[in-house]
Amino acid sequence: MGKPSLCFKFTIFVSLSLTVTTSSSLPLFQNILSQSTATPIPKATPSDLLSLLGPKPKSSTLNPLVAQQLNSCLKFLVPFTPLRYQSNQSSLRLASKSREENQLIWWPPEPVLDLARLAVDSGGDPHAIHRALDPTMIPVPDVEGSKENQCELTRTPYGRRFISEELNSYLEFLFELIAARGPSVGLNVSLNRHDLFHGHLFIATDTGRLGILFHAKEYPAYEKEVFTYNMGYCQTGSNVTYDESMNLRNILWLAPLPSNSTRAWLAPGVLVVLDARPDGIIYRDLVPEYVNFARTIYEDDLGDVVVDVNYLNVGDAVPTYQIFIC
């Protein structure tokens, strides 16, 4: 057999060169490919939000990126971690009211703690909470001219109250505290039928924790250039402006979380505004797309809804507020 031709030698050389080049660049190619198919930013869930606001062992299990982004959308009306106040008598006198309010969120009165424990001990049964209600039916009266506008503010035309008056007073306290402290985080609300007047009491699905999701800015005024949504009879007469403060319309209260095996408490109470700004994770993952214009988080995404809690101005010349549980 004769010697290989020059053409054949050149072909072998080119083939070997391409093989070596391709082999040596393969890891780099795989690297680029893996980067292009990297895991996307994890999606936050309502359970993640409640875990973050729960005991440390639970919150530490969250994806760090999800936890960081959720934290950036939390505006606490009361410090998340209970503070140890120094015994400076002059400063105690100056801030005594604020500190008492904080303590009432972290560790509410006994009837509230009993209800929180009942929610857990019952296995998250809404009927256990229903049994704490006085059976007396209270008709919902005209609220700030609502009947004239054919507006039905409540789920039913009557309401109830808890048997414990201390529980009813605590609910009133929550509404008043939100209105008083809201401006500190950019949330200016009024206690009226177009703005802040209701919340939804729920039992968290995974833990049985008791909570209330409040909705402020309920009926923004119709404006051709700004808010072009017709929200029915209850919107009539509204002077609630649709602006950036709509991002802050969801306010969450969580009762202290009891252990389900001992008499211990695993976490203090929480009162926080959930910032649903369009560039945040709450807006992206927790606000349904079909209501993103209203920035609404739905209570049944957080757990089993037990009752609606309404705080209505039933007075005439002088504002007189009353709790109606529907």
Q: What are the pLDDT tens digits along the chain (326 aa)?
A: 444 443 333 333 334 343 433 333 334 334 433 443 456 778 999 999 999 999 999 999 999 999 999 999 999 999 999 977 554 554 555 478 999 999 999 999 999 999 999 999 999 999 999 999 999 999 999 999 999 999 999 999 999 999 999 999 999 999 999 999 999 999 999 999 999 999 999 999 999 999 999 999 999 999 998 999 999 999 999 999 999 999 999 999 999 999 999 999 999 999 999 999 999 999 999 999 999 999 999 999 999 999 999 999 999 889 999 999 99
In this structure, is residue 8 part of a structural domain?
Answer: no
Question: What total number of domains does the chain contain?
Answer: 1
- Residue 149 in tokens: 């506008």
In this structure, is residue 106 part of a structural domain?
Answer: yes
Query: What is the distance between the alpha carbons of residues 26 and 21, in angstroms, rounded to a whole number?
Result: 9
In this structure, is residue 188 part of a structural domain?
Answer: yes
pLDDT digits (tens, 9 = 90+) for 210-220: 999 999 999 99
Q: Can you list the alpha helix ranges (DSSP code H) found in the chain?
A: 6-36, 46-52, 56-59, 64-71, 89-94, 96-106, 110-121, 126-130, 165-181, 281-285
- Inter-residue contact 241 to 195 (CB < 8 Å): no
Query: What is the distance between the alpha carbons of residues 246 and 205, in angstroms, rounded to a whole number?
Result: 27
The alpha carbon torsion through 43, 204, 195, 275 (nearest 10 deg) reads: -30
Provide the β-strand partners of residue 250.
215, 274
The 8 Å CB, 24+ separation contacts for 281-284 are: 281/44, 281/66, 281/69, 281/70, 281/72, 281/73, 282/44, 282/49, 282/70, 282/73, 283/247, 284/44
In this structure, is residue 201 part of a structural domain?
Answer: yes
| Model confidence, pTM | 0.86
Say how far residue 235 (Cα) sits from the centre of its chain: 24
Query: What is the distance between the alpha carbons of residues 180 and 322, in angstroms, rounded to a whole number?
Result: 18
Q: Classify burial at 167, counting beta carbons within 10 Å of its beta carbon; exposed 0-12, middle 13-18, buried 19 or more.
A: buried
In this structure, is residue 227 part of a structural domain?
Answer: yes
Query: What is the distance between the alpha carbons of residues 135 and 141, in angstroms, rounded to a whole number?
Result: 18
Q: How far is CA 306 from CA 66, 120, 177, 300, in A?
A: 29, 14, 22, 10
In this structure, is residue 273 part of a structural domain?
Answer: yes
Range of the domain at 289: 46-81+93-325
- Inter-residue contact 296 to 215 (CB < 8 Å): yes
The 10 Å CB-count burial string (b at 16+, else e) for 35-54 is: eeeeeeeeebebbbbbbbbb
In this structure, is residue 30 part of a structural domain?
Answer: no
Phi, psi dihedral angles at 2 (to 5 degrees): -80, 170
